A and B are shown apart, each in its own frame.
Chain A
C-alpha cells in the first residue's frame, strides 16, 4: 500500500507533467472536425435565394480552413462555388460559413433557382487537410409558398425563368379529381416572373391533392413547373363570447353571442355551436348558437324559467364545439362568460275606476301582474291587497281573486264605515310559488272624503203670527253613493225672527236624522223671514246648509182701549171662523205640502225605467221568462191534443 507521503508526491508529479505533455503533442492527435451542412429555408419558391450553412465544430484553433460547395439543380447540372476561406482564432474550435445559392459565389452564372424540384448540396474541405464531401444536404424549390394550407388561407404562386412578358398559364387542379380550381393565363413581368394567388374556399375538398402548373407559351422547362400542396380544415378562432346583459331576471331571455373567424380573418357565417350553460349548482345543459343575420354574430338564446336558479351562471364554448358545417372547427381553447340571474320583479298594475271615494263606498279594483317576459301571474299564485291610511294608523287587508276569463286579479274593499278621511294607499303584492319566490308590488294613492249630505228645514205651524211659538225641524240626509250612514252631530237653525239655536241629531238608523228647535217670533218680524239650517257634519258626513222662508203675519188687533184681547162679542164669531179656517187650511196645507214635496215626475220615472229595461241582463231575464211561459203553454196545449 502506498504511504500517505508517497500518494501526495504522485499527485504533485501529475499536476506538473500533464500540461507539458499536452503542449508538445502533434495536432494530428486532436479530435477530428465535425461538419454539418444545412439549407435555409429548406423549401422556397422559384427565384428565392437559399443560404447554405456550414457548421464546423472541433475545429483546430489558429488554422486556415478552405471549402468548396456544390449544388445540383433538378436538371442535374452541378454548380461549384469558388473556395470559401475561414481562419480560426487561437482559442476558436467552432465556426460557421454561409454561402448563398444562387450567388456570385457559384461560377459565373451563379446557379439556377427557376426549376421545381430537389437541389442536393455538398461541401468538400480543401485546407488544411483536403477532405471530399465532408457534409451534404438538400433543399426544395417549388411554385407555392407552402405545401400544406388550411382552408381560407391564400396560396401564393411564383414561377421564374420565363421570357420577359411571356404568356404563362397558371392552373391548379385537384388530384385525382382533375377539377380545375384556378386557371389564370397571364403575362410574366419584365424579368420573366409570373405570380398568382388563390384563396382556398372554406369548403375546399380535403380528400384531394392540389397540383399547380405553370406553362409558358415559349419557354419549356425541364423539369416542368409542377408543384403539389394539400389542404387541411381551417382552425376557427373564437376569441371570446359575450352575454348581452351582466344580470338577468328570471323569465328574461339570456342572449349569448360570439364571432368565429377563419385563418383568413374572414368571419364565419354558417354552422352552429353548442354553448354550455352551467347553473350555480354546476348542473349544465347545452343550447345551440346559430348565425344571426342582423347582428352578424352567432347567437344562442335561452328563456330563463320562473324558477331558474339564482346566482352566477356560466356560458361556455368548449374546444372545437363550433363547426361551420364544413368541418372547420374551433375554438382551439375554451372560452366562457359569466352572468348573474336574479329573481323576477313582477310588474303589478292596479286599475281603479277612480281615485277619490267617500266613506262607506265600495272600492273595486283590478290588477295585472306580469313577469318580465309578459307572462301573467295566474290563479295558482298568490296576491294580496292592503289598504292603509297615510301614517299607518289604520290598515285593512283585501282578498284578491284571479278571474281566468279576464286574466286579471280582482279585489273589492267593503268599507266598515269607520274609515277616517284622508289619503290612503292601496298596496298590492304579488308572489308566485317559485323558490325563492318572485315578487312584485304596486301602490296607488286613494283619497277618502266625507259623504255628501243635504239638510232641509221646515217650521210648524206654517202660518205664523208675531209672538207665536214656532217649531223648526232640520232633517239631514246622507245622499252619497253606497250604503248610507245616519248623520249625527249638530244643526244650527238660524231664523231671521229669533236668535240661532243648536239642536243635536239623535242616533238612529237610515239615511236621515232630524232635530227640532222651538223659537218665538219677534214683534217686528212680520213678513217673509228666512230660516237657515247649517249642518256641521260629523266624522262621516260633510257639512251642508239650506235656507227656507216663512211668512209671519201681524196678529189681529182691536182699536178700542188698551187691552187688545178684549173684543166685542160680534167679533168672536169672526175670530172663531178665522181660527177654523186656519185649522182647516193647515190640515189642507200640510196634506198639500206633503204631496207637493213628494211630487214624482212620471216622465223621469219612465225614462229611467226605459234605460234599465234596455240593459242586457234585464232583457235576457225577460226573454228567458217569456220563453219559459211559451214552453209551458205549448206543453199544455200539446198535452191536450195528444193521442
Chain B
C-alpha cells in the first residue's frame, strides 16, 4: 500500500521544497516514489526537476478544478534521472496566476485529493507519495495533513519557525498523524551535535519524532534549484545526510506499520 508523506514548514524559506525533491529522489533510487506539488499558490518542484513548459500536460490544479483526470498529470521522471531500480513520478501544480485565483475561490475537496492519491498510487504502483505543501496553515496544508500517513515538518533553528512547527504538530495530532521534525539550514555558529540535541529535546517536547538536522550547505544554495542536488552529487555530505534521514524515516514508518498491523 502506498504511504503518503507530506512535507511541510510553518515559515517560507526553510528549504522545504529542496528537501522534498532530495528526499524523494533518494527514496526513488530503491523505491517507486510519486511526488505531488500541492504548493498550489507557489509551486517550485517543477523547476528543481527541470521540467520545460511543454512537458506539463495537466496539473493538480486542473484536477481540483475538475478539468483533468489524475492519470493525465503524471510525468515519469525515472528515465531522466536514470532510476533503474526504483522510479520517480511527478504530479505538478499549475504556475498560472489565473488557476491559483480560481482555486482560491473554488476550494479544495478532500474526496478529490484522496481519489487522486489513490489513482496515482495504483497506476504507478507507488511505494511512497511525497506531498510538498505551501508554507503556513493554508487549505492545501490542512488537506495534505488530513490525507497523509505521516508529516515531516521542516524548521530552521529559529524561534518563530519552531513555534509554528509546534502548532503544526498539535494540529497533526488532531488528525492522529505521526510527525517527524527536520531541522534545516542549521547556522554555521551552531554545532550540528547541539542542533541534533536541541531537535531531539524539541521532538520529546512536541511529542514528535526527530528525523535529522541538516547543516547550512552553501553548495546546495549555490545549486540555485537547477537540479536535484543529491542525484548530481551522490557523494556529498548533504547526500549522505539525506540518505540517513530517509533510512531513518523508512525505519520509523515500517515500525509504525508493524505496530498498526499487530493491533
Interface string of A486-510 (1 = CB under 8 A from B): 1000000000000000000000111
In the complex, which residue of chain A has the Cβ closest to the Cβ of B220? A509
Q: How far is the CA of A381 from the CA of B175 in the complex (A)?
A: 45
Contact status of A401 and B102, CB under 8 A, knowing A510-B156, A595-B201, A612-B167: yes
What's the minimum C-beta distance from B109 to chain A, rounded to whole angstroms? 8
Instruction: Tell me whether A483 and B142 are in contact (CB under 8 A).
Output: no
A483→B42 contact, CB < 8 A:
yes
Q: How far is the CB of B44 from chain A (nearest CB, A)?
A: 11
Given that A399-B97, A609-B167, A621-B146 are known contacts, is A595 also in contact with B198, CB under 8 Å in the complex?
yes
The verdict on A594 contacting chain B, using a C-beta distance below 8 Å, is yes
Which residues between 556 and 605 of chain A lie within 8 Å of chain B, taking CB atoms?
Answer: 590-591, 594-595, 597-598, 600-602, 604-605
Contact A401 B101 (CB under 8 A): yes
Q: A508-B218, A622-B146 are in contact. List 6 more A-B contacts (CB 8 A).
A: A399-B98, A401-B101, A475-B187, A516-B189, A598-B198, A620-B110
B94–chain A nearest beta-carbon distance, Å: 13
- The interface stretch among B7-15, B25-33, B85-93 is B7-15
Provide the bound-state CA to CA distance between A405 and B104, in Å.
12
**Which residues from 390 to 425 on chain A have a C-beta closer than 8 Å to any C-beta of chain B?**
398-399, 401, 403, 405-406, 410-412, 414
- Residue A56 at the B interface, CB < 8 A? no
B105: interface (CB < 8 Å): yes
CA A516 – CA B167 in complex, angstroms? Answer: 33
User: Which of A412, A483, A598 lies in contact with B97, CB distance below 8 A?
Assistant: A412
Q: With an 8 A cutoff between CB atoms, is B55 at the interface?
A: no
For chain A, the bracket of interface size reads: 35 or more
A412-B100, A598-B159, A602-B166 in contact; A617/B142 too (CB < 8 A)? yes
A534 to B193, CA, bound (A): 30
Within the complex, what minimum Cβ distance (angstroms) separates A586 from chain B? 12
Residue contact B146 to A625, C-beta cutoff 8 Å: yes
Q: Assess the A512–B158 pair: CB atoms within 8 A.
A: yes
* Interface-centre pick from A398, A411, A483, A609 (highest chain B CB count, 10 A): A609
Question: Does B13 contact A484, Cβ atoms closer than 8 Å?
Answer: yes
Q: How far is the CB of A486 from chain B (nearest CB, A)?
A: 8
A609 and B170 contacting across the interface, CB-CB below 8 Å: yes
For the complex, what is the distance from the CA of A552 to the CA of B135, rounded to whole Å? 43
In the complex, whether B47 has a CB less than 8 A from a CB of chain A is no
- In the complex, what residue of chain B is closest to A613 when comparing beta carbons? B174
Q: Which 9 A-B pairs have CB atoms at the shortest separation, nearest pair first?
A: A609-B170, A624-B110, A605-B166, A484-B13, A621-B146, A483-B12, A511-B13, A510-B13, A608-B167
Contact B162 A510 (CB under 8 A): no
A4 interface residue per 8 A CB criterion: no
From A514, A590, A595, A621, give the contact of B187 (CB < 8 A): A514
Q: With A and B bound together, what is the CA distance between A516 and B187 in angstroms? A: 12
Q: What are some 28 contacts across the A-B interface (CB < 8 A)? A: A401-B98, A412-B100, A477-B158, A483-B13, A483-B42, A484-B13, A486-B13, A509-B13, A509-B185, A510-B156, A510-B185, A511-B13, A511-B158, A591-B197, A594-B198, A595-B198, A597-B159, A600-B163, A602-B166, A602-B205, A604-B163, A605-B163, A605-B166, A612-B171, A613-B171, A621-B142, A622-B174, A625-B110
Give Cα distance in the complex from A621 to B146, angstroms: 7
- The verdict on B139 contacting chain A, using a C-beta distance below 8 Å, is yes
Instruction: Give the complex CA separation of A508 and B187 in angstroms.
Output: 11
**How many Å lie between the Cα of A604 and that of B221 in the bound state?**
33
Q: Does A479 contact B (CB under 8 A)?
A: yes
Contact A514 B190 (CB under 8 A): no
Hey, which chain A residues are within 8 Å of B202, CB to CB? 598, 600
* Complex interface: chain B residues within 8 A of A401 (CB): 98, 101-102
Give complex CA distance A71, B137 in Å: 118
Closest CB-CB distance, A324 to chain B, in whole Å? 57
Q: Which of B1-26 contact A (CB under 8 A)?
A: 11-15
B237 in contact (CB, < 8 A): no
Contacts of B216 in A (CB 8 A): 508
Query: Contact at B101–A412, with CB atoms within 8 Å?
Result: yes
Contact of A621 with B98 in the complex, beta carbons under 8 Å: no
Q: In the complex, A509→B14 CA distance in Å?
A: 9
Which has the most chain A C-beta neighbours within 10 Å: B102, B105, B111, B160?
Answer: B105
Which residues from A are CB-within-8-Å of B108?
A: 617
> A509-B15, A605-B163, A622-B174 in contact; A612/B101 too (CB < 8 A)?
no
Residues of A within 8 A of B63 (CB): none
Say whether, besides A594-B198, A595-B198, A598-B198, A403 and B105 are in contact (CB < 8 Å): yes
